[in-house]
Amino acid sequence: MINLQSVRKVFQTKDGEVKAVDTVDLNIKQGEIYGIIGYSGAGKSTLIRILNMLERPTSGTVTIGGKNMSELSPKKLREARQEISMIFQHFNLLWSRTVRENIAFPLEIAGYPKAKIKQRVDELIDLVGLEGRGGSYPSQLSGGQKQRVGIARALANEPKVLLCDEATSALDPKTTDSILDLLVEINQKLDLTIVLITHEMHVIRKICHRVAVMEQGRVVEEGDVLNVFKNPTEPITKDFVKQVTEPEETVDTIKQFISEFPEGRIVQLTFIGGRAGQPLITELIRKYEVDVNILQGKITQTQNGPYGTLFIQIKGTEPALARAMEFLNSVQVEVEVIHNA
Ligand SMILES: Nc1ncnc2c1ncn2[C@@H]1O[C@H](COP(=O)(O)OP(=O)(O)OP(=O)(O)O)[C@@H](O)[C@H]1O
C-alpha cells in the first residue's frame, strides 16, 4: 500500500544542513495500523508529511496505492491527496463553523450536492459518536470531542489512508484511550490503513500492528509490535518498551522481594502472545506440589495478543521445584530465575 525507498529529506538552514529524514525504507500494508515512534526531533513529522507530499523528499521514492507520489502532476497529486487524510495534535478545526459544518467542509470543496452532504455528515457523526453535538462550535467541545470532529472530517471523502500526527498527545489518558479505540474501530470497519506518529509507547502498544522506531532521521528498528516488545535490540527501543512493561520501580521492587521472600525461587515470567490467558499458575500449583505467591505483575494487550511480566515466588521441596521449573520452561513463556535460595 505504502512503500518508501531510500527517502531522504535535507533542510538547508543558516547553520548548515539538517538531515531530518535519512535514507528511510518502509513498507506499510493495506489495512494495517502502523506506528512510527521517536523522541522530539527524530524526524517523525517530516516523514509523515512526506507521505502526502506536504514535504517533498530530497531524494528517494514514495509510492502509495501504486502511484509514485513524486512524479504526479499537480492535478493528479490533488486527486491522490483526496485518498490520504490527516488528523492533528491540535485538531485544526475551523472555529467559526459548527461540528456539522466542519465535517461538511471537505465535501463542499469536493462539490457534493447539499442532500448528499447532509446524509454523509449524519453518517460520520454517528460513526465517531458525536450524536446530538452537530450544532456545537469547537470551543464548546472537550478535547476528545474535538478530535472526533477531526476524525469525522478526515473520513468525509472516504480516504484509503489516515495519517495521525500525534493525534492524542494533547489529550488526557482516558480520552486518549477512547480516541485510540475509535481509530481501531474505523480501521476495522472501513479497512482503512492508518499511519501514526507518536512519542508514547502506550499508543503503539494499544493499537498498532507494526512499529518503526526513529532516531536522528533513521529507522533504527522495525517490526511486529509483539516481536519488538519481545526482542528490542536498540537502546532507544528498550527505553520505549520499558515505558509500558516495567513499572519504574522494578529494580527496587525486585531487591525488596529478595530480602522479604528469601525462600524458594523468585521467577520472572514473560508472556508473549497466547499463553497469558491460560491458567498457567493454577496448573503449576495443582500438578507440581509447590506453593506460588504472586508478587507483582503487569499484563497488557497489544493488537497481536497479550504481553506482560509476572513475578512469582515458588516454594516447595527441591525435586518439586525442579519439576515445576521444567514445566515452566516447556510452555510458551520466557522464564528467568532472579533469585534461588
Ligand atoms: N522546515 C524546516 N527547516 C529546517 N529544519 C527543519 C524543518 N523542519 C524540521 N526540521 C528539523 O528536522 C529535524 C526533524 O524534525 P521533525 O519535526 O520531523 O521531528 P519530530 O520527530 O517530528 O519532532 P517533534 O515531535 O518535536 O515534532 C529537526 O532537527 C528539526 O529541527
Atom of ligand 1 nearest to the CA of 55: 1
Question: Residue 236 — very low, low, confident or very high, per pLDDT cuts 50/70/90?
Answer: very high
159, 84 Cβ separation under 8 angstroms = yes
Q: Which residue has the higher pLDDT, 263 or 213?
A: 213
What is the fold, at CATH topology level, of the domain defined by 2-243? Answer: Rossmann fold (3.40.50)
Query: 89-106: string of b/e by CB count within 10 Å (b at 16+)?
Result: bebebeeeebbbebbbbb
Q: For position 55, what pLDDT does the model report?
A: 94
Q: For position 274, what pLDDT does the model report?
A: 64
d(CA 109, CA 166): 26
Q: Which residue has the higher pLDDT, 298 or 29?
A: 29
| Ligand 1, atom 8, residue with closest C-alpha | 46
Over residues 172-200, the mean pLDDT reads 95
d(CA 27, CA 309): 31
Measure Cα distances from 289 to 282, 307, 314, 317 in Å: 11, 27, 10, 8
Least confident of 125-129, 203-207, 253-257: 253-257
Q: For position 247, what pLDDT does the model report?
A: 61
| Range ranked top by mean pLDDT from 254-258, 278-282, 285-289 | 285-289
Q: What percent of the chain stands above pLDDT 70?
A: 96
Over residues 250-270, the mean pLDDT reads 80
* Pocket perturbation via mutation, ligand 1, pick of 46, 89, 197 by most ligand atoms within 8 A of CB: 46
Nearest C-alpha neighbor of 37 from the set 23, 52, 48: 48
Over residues 244-267, the mean pLDDT reads 76
What is the 174 CA–ligand 1 centroid distance (Å)? 29
| Ligand 1, atom 31, residue with closest C-alpha | 41
Angle in degrees, 0-180, between the axes of helices 99-109 and 143-155, rounded to the nearest 10: 20
d(CA 294, CA 298): 11
Indicate the residue type of 244.
Answer: V
Task: Name the CA radius of gyration of the chain, rounded.
Answer: 24
What is the 240 CA–ligand 1 centroid distance (Å)? 20
Report domain extents, the chain. Answer: 2-243, 248-340
Instruction: Pinpoint the alpha helices (H) of 11-98.
Output: 44-51, 74-82
What is the 216 CA–ligand 1 centroid distance (Å)? 10
Nearest C-alpha neighbor of 44 from the set 192, 266, 214: 214
Q: Answer yes or no: is pLDDT of 192 > 60.
A: yes
d(CA 142, CA 122): 20
Q: Answer yes or no: is pLDDT of 241 > 60.
A: yes
| Ligand 1, atom 3, residue with closest C-alpha | 11
Q: What's CA 292's distance to the chain center, in Å?
A: 35
Q: Which CATH number is 248-340's, of 3.30.70.260, 3.30.450.40, 3.40.50.410, 3.30.590.10?
A: 3.30.70.260
Q: Answer yes or no: is pLDDT of 332 > 80.
A: no
What is the 58 CA–ligand 1 centroid distance (Å)? 15
Over residues 215-233, the mean pLDDT reads 92
Q: What percent of the chain stands above pLDDT 90?
A: 67
Strand, helix or coil at 319?
Answer: helix
Q: For position 308, what pLDDT does the model report?
A: 79
Q: Do 248-340 and 2-243 fall under one CATH topology?
A: no
Over residues 164-178, the mean pLDDT reads 94
Number of C-beta neighbours around residue 331 at 10 A: 14
User: In sequence order, what E strands does 199-304 have?
Assistant: 210-215, 218-224, 265-272, 291-302
Question: Residue 209 — very low, low, confident or very high, per pLDDT cuts 50/70/90?
Answer: very high
Least confident of 5-14, 178-187, 329-338: 329-338
41 lines ligand 1 (CB under 6 A): yes
**Residues 6+ positions from 278 with CB-CB distance below 8 Å:** none
Q: For position 309, what pLDDT does the model report?
A: 81
What is the 200 CA–ligand 1 centroid distance (Å)? 18
* Pocket perturbation via mutation, ligand 1, pick of 7, 18, 56, 200 by most ligand atoms within 8 A of CB: 18
Over residues 282-310, the mean pLDDT reads 84
Least confident of 77-81, 135-139, 162-166, 218-222: 77-81
What is the 172 CA–ligand 1 centroid distance (Å)? 25
What is the 167 CA–ligand 1 centroid distance (Å)? 17
Q: For position 246, what pLDDT does the model report?
A: 66
d(CA 34, CA 303): 11
